[in-house]
Amino acid sequence: MPDIVKILSIKEITHDVKSFRVEKPAGYQFVPGQATEVAVNKPGMTEEKRPFTFTSLNEDPFLEFTIKRYKDHHGVTDLLHQLEPGDGLIINDVWGAIEYKGPGYFIAGGAGITPFLSIMRQLHKAHQLKGNKLFFSNKTAADIICEEDLTGMLGDEAIFVLTKEVNAKYTSGYIDEDFLKKHVADFHKHFYICGPDAMTAAIATILEQSGAETDSVVFEK
- pLDDT-based confidence at residue 19 (cuts at 50, 70, 90): very high
How does pLDDT run across 130-177, given as a tens digit for each residue? Answer: 999 999 999 999 999 999 999 999 999 999 999 999 999 999 999 999
Let me know: does 124 contact 57? Beta carbons within 8 Å.
no
pLDDT value at position 72? Answer: 75
How many CB atoms sit inside 10 A of residue 138's CB?
A: 23
Percent of the chain with pLDDT over 70: 100
Which residue type, as a one-letter code, is found at position 212? A
| 71 pLDDT higher than 80 | no
| 198 pLDDT higher than 90 | yes
How does pLDDT run across 100-135, given as a tens digit for each residue? Answer: 999 999 999 999 999 999 999 999 999 999 999 999
Name the least confident of 22-31, 70-79, 135-144: 70-79
| 74 pLDDT higher than 80 | no
| 97 pLDDT higher than 90 | no
Comparing CA positions, the residue from 201, 211, 210, 208 lying closest to residue 219 is 201
| 221 pLDDT higher than 70 | no
Question: Within 13 Å of residue 17, how many CA atoms lie on the same side as its CB?
Answer: 20
